[in-house]
Structure 1
Amino acid sequence: MDWFGETWRVTDYLELDGEPLDRVDPGLLRAISSGHFTSMQVRGGLVRGLPFHVERLDRSSVELFGHGVPAERWRSYVRSALERAGVADASVRITAFTRDRAKVDQGIAVAPELLVTVSAPIASTGRPLRLLAVEHERPVPHLKHTGSFSLSYYGRAAKLDGHDDALFYDRAGHVSEASIWNICFAQAGRIVWPEAAVLPGITMQVLQAGLAATGTPSETRPVPLDELATYDAAYLTNSIDPALPVAAITTPAGTTSYQPDPTSTAQIEKAYKAKPAQPI
């Protein structure tokens, strides 16, 4: 920048709560805001759905950076991080990003950098949730990207309105997913997944594979809001809660409540156990 005949170089200066941050790379902070990630619960050094994490990280990196991520690369990073942290049970997040945006924007393939975050393991929620249906379509939903502001925004708004979380539906009035969950429904011995633009969650894929392996009828089809009362039960699913019952869903037309359904609960639990965890 030229200012009064002199050339000034603008550099980043950061503070957090009034204290200088001199050990954080500003370029890193900017870079990780535009990338993708996968999260997992590790127990005893094992993780469920490992092949799906492998596929997600590689596929998403090819799409965003033109360069995939070999499975052994990120797995070795996670193993090292767990060892250095001295834990075998943890919540782990692998974020793929690049500080070389200029090349990516020119269509040049760049091997992404990988940030591994190890934090305390998260316990299951343990109680059925009450959901508030909100019309919202997540951008680029097939990618687990770092642009998650809308998810936390609508989740918080639902809680402030007296609910536990938000459930999304699209412009056609069809259920899609929840803030940090996929959702499925039970109907007459069959598990139904919403046909909509959603993130293909890892645990959702584990359950779908397990349902097929155990011979449990399942299908993917549109789930209109006005048909919620036709289902016997609903379940939220993610790496923390593979099958968390839904107590109620409130839509603009009213509230649908669900009672415990032992049949579908047993089906989903059996499907989940059919796909055991694997060493990271």
Structure 2
Amino acid sequence: MTEILLLNGEPLHTVTPQLLRATSYAHFSSLQVRDGKVDGLDLHFERLDRSTRELFGRSLEAAQIRAVLQAGLAHTDGNASFRLTVLDTDLLLRIEPPIAPSTTPVRLQPIQHQRALPHLKHTGTFDLIYFGRRAQEAGYDDAVFHTAAGEISEASIWNICFARGPEIVFPAAPILNGIRQQVLQRGLAAYETSPVLVSELASFDAAYLTNSIDPALPVAAIGEVTYAPHPESVRTIAAAYASQAAQPI
């Protein structure tokens, strides 16, 4: 499958300057589609509507989103990577081949930074790419952000969570509450949201990154703090996801 673009459900063969300009003030959601289903699809609908209300002052109905996704699904075998970008009244859907989750634990460089309007999944990603590159130049795989007070918040394109025994802890600092993170939280019998300080990272048994592609990518190290494989939290997270069925488009 090559990349396909649909604008409001119709194939888009050329991109106009006006459309390019519009992408600088927009929000989006990334979806991994498997057998025509998406994890947390209702959560995508809710976030896309809420963000559209905040950015453009209007609602975005689930039926309109679903129609565009269904049009995109017709160009696939039921398996794909979707990125749906909301450009005020227009919906731009990018369709690419499905992406398999990563399996290699990652090393993260802690960097003091906070995204602008962190609760929004907006198209302002310059800083994420910049700090990710800086981390790689320093010998890490990517960056993880913390506040001026030393509270871990999120990684460049992931949420992050931590484990103490079977207990899963999510940072309390301002973040984008990612869809995959919300699916995980739905499936957990209990979890904690509290400040996670850089100075206290060694008190945890493990850390994991979550996004639409990676449900629980193990973290090998954050700065000088290293984490060994931790089967107990792996089982807890796997059971939580297994309890949440994917939803058909």
With normalisation by structure 1, the TM-score equals 0.83
Determine helix, strand or coil for the equivalent of 2:92.
strand
Give the superposed CA RMSD: 1.1
Q: Compute the displacement of 1:23 (Å).
A: 4.0
Q: Which residue of 2 aligns with 1:109?
A: none
The counterpart of 2:178, out of the listed 189, 197, 201, is 201
Q: Pick one of 70, 79, 83 that aligns with 1:89.
A: 79
Q: Residues of 2 paired with 1:131 and 1:156: CA distance?
A: 12
- In the TM superposition, residue 188 of structure 1 has moved relative to its aligned partner by 2.9
Work out whether 1:58 is the aligned partner of 2:55.
no
Partner SS, residue 120 of structure 2: coil
Instruction: Kindly indicate whether residue 247 of structure 2 is the aligned counterpart of residue 273 of structure 1.
Output: no
Pick aligned residue for 1:180 from 142, 157, 165: 157
Secondary structure at the aligned position of 2:71 is classed as: helix
Give the letter aligned to residue 243 of structure 2: A
Structure 1: runs of 5 or more not aligned: 1-21, 99-111
Listed as ranges, the matches of 1:1-280 within 5 Å are 23-83=14-74, 85-98=75-88, 112-211=89-188, 215=189, 217-250=190-223, 255-280=224-249
Tell me how far 1:161 sits from its aligned partner.
1.4
Q: CA deviation at 1:157?
A: 1.2
Q: Deviations over 1:182-238 (max 9, x none)?
A: 000001321100001100000000000100xxx2x3110000100000000000001
Shift in Å, 1:59: 0.3
Distance 1:278 1:138 in 2: 30
Larger radius of gyration: 1
Within 1, Cα distance between the matches of 2:40 and 2:62?
13
Whether the aligned pair in 1 keeps the contact of 2:108 and 2:135 (CA below 8 Å) is yes
User: By how many angstroms is 1:24 displaced?
Assistant: 2.8
SS of aligned partner of 1:245:
strand
Give the letter for the 1:188 counterpart.
Answer: G
- Could you list the runs of 5+ residues in structure 2 that have no partner in the other structure? 1-12
Any runs of at least 4 consecutive aligned residues in structure 1 with deviations exceeding 6 A, and if so which?
none
What's the TM-score, normalizing by structure 2? 0.93
State how many pairs are aligned: 237
Deviation at 1:78, TM superposition (A): 1.1
Q: Percent identity?
A: 53
Q: Which amino acid aligns with 2:21?
A: R
